[in-house]
Amino acid sequence: MVRNGCKVLAVKAVFLFLWLVSSPVWATAEAVAIEGPQRPWWFWPIVLFVFCFVLGIIAVLAGVGGGVLYVPLVSGFFPFHLDFVRGTGLLVALAGALAAGPGLLKRNFANLRLALPVALIASSCAIVGALLGLALPTNIIQIALGATIIFIAALITFSKNVERPVVEKQDGIGGAFKMAGAYLEPSTGENIEWKTHRTLPGLLLFIVIGVMAGMFGLGAGWANVPVLNLLMGAPLKLSVGTSKFLLSITDTSAAWIYLNQGCVIPLMAVPSIVGLMLGSFVGVRILAVAKPKVIRYIVIVVLLFAGIRAFMKGLGI
């Protein structure tokens, strides 16, 4: 009964989300941007809070980070400039990662020895990405964002992560950084030991991931997990946990760049952060009893839709 109730709630959340995206509210968004304020000051923050609350539920159910949905959807359907959306998107992803980090670290689902070398590369490159993102013309960023979101939708569709990749021999760099450990798998009561391989190509890929995270304010869980899991051979659970924790470091460096440039407006940042965090808590509770796969497919469609919209917005269509 509880399971059915949660499924109904999950489906309702998706429909509310789709209704929000297709609502006439968005039709007026650009008009408001051009013509000036026509609504009371509290209107957009409240809409943003509700939108982010639903987004938080859906992100958890679909197994994607909040930032990757937040930036394309809010920049596509709200009257906010992409500069502020990216700054807030990083804070949203950062707040979620900081809140999840302690539990993941304590249970060994995230590992400092795996995260630190990767984080140094990703956070340095995220600064470069943020500086580039703020220097390039908005339409170029919008086109690149659209293309990236479409790529992410394809990646989510076709990427087949491996629960426990086989790593026969650890490579030299992984060994030097002692990238190995163990965690308890609660579902089987088994201790899972792990080590990495192909560490150098993995580290090099984090250059690209860092730049993209900083440039688009997306967070980077969508890219972290496949690299840690499929390339470096970390078990899926560890890859997901370490990726989430990694965001707290990568996004910190980029968030400061946006913050220092003035890209954070509290009236849009706080409702976004709080809405998404509350939604994530509700999403985790729903996820414990229901795994509606259909939501993952809906999110892929929404990402495609948002990606195409961002792409066309960049082209001025």
Interface mask toward another protein for 43-62; x: CB under 8 A: -x------------------
CA 311, CA 197: separation in Å to the nearest integer?
37
Of residues 162 through 181, those in contact with another protein by CB under 8 A are 176-177, 181
- Cα within 13 Å of Cα(295), Cβ side: 28
Residue 232 or 295: the one with the smaller Cβ distance to another protein is: 232
Mark 104-143 with x for binding to another protein (rule: CB under 8 A) and - for no binding: -xxxx--xxx--xx-xx--xx--x---x--xxxxx-----
- The verdict on 254 binding another protein (CB under 8 A) reads yes
- Shortest CB 250 distance to another protein, Å: 10
Near another protein in 80-109, by CB under 8 A: 80-81, 83-84, 87, 91, 94-95, 98-99, 101-103, 105-108
CB 238 within 8 A of CB 111: yes
Task: Find the binding residues for another protein in span 259-288 (CB under 8 A).
Answer: 259-270, 273-274, 277
Of residues 190 through 219, those in contact with another protein by CB under 8 A are 190-191
- Per CB under 8 A, 32 contacts another protein: yes
Residue 108 φ/ψ region, left for φ over 0, alpha for ψ in the -120 to 50 degree band, beta for the rest: left
27 binds another protein per the rule CB under 8 A: no
Task: Kindly tell me which residue out of 257, 286, 303, 306 binds another protein, with binding defined by CB under 8 A.
Answer: 257
Shortest Å, Cβ 106 to another protein: 5
